[in-house]
Amino acid sequence: MAQLAANMYDQYLESLKGADPHSRDWLLIDNSPTGVIILTALYLAFIKFGPRFMKNREPFKLQNFMVFYNLGLVALSVYMVLEMWFSMKAVGVTTMGCAPYNDETRKHPGARRVAAVMWWYFFSKAIEFIDTILMVLRKKEAQITFLHVFHHASMFNIWWWVVLFIPGGCSWFGSCLNSLVHVFMYSYYGLAAIPSLRGKLWWKKYLTKMQLIQFVITFIHTNYVIVTPCDFPFWGKGVLGIYMVIMFTLFSNFYIQSYLKTKERKEKAAKENGASRENGVHTKATNGLSNGYSNHSLTNGNHHEKSS
The pLDDT assigned to 76 comes to 99
Give yes or no for residue 8 having a pLDDT over 80: no
User: pLDDT category, 262, cuts 50, 70, 90?
Assistant: low
**By the 8 A CB rule, do 40 and 175 touch?**
no
- How far CA 130 is from CA of 118, 163, 193, 218, 220, in Å, comes to 20, 22, 15, 26, 31
Catalytic residue set: 151
Residue 178's closest CA among 251, 257, 101, 95? 251
Element (H, E) at 110: none
Say if CB 77 and CB 183 are below 8 A apart.
Answer: yes
* Percentage, residues of the chain above pLDDT 70: 82
Q: What is the pLDDT of residue 291?
A: 29
* Banded model confidence at residue 212, pLDDT cuts 50, 70, 90: confident
pLDDT at position 281, please? 42
Q: Note if the pTM is more than 0.85.
A: no
Q: Give me Rg for the CA atoms of the chain.
A: 22
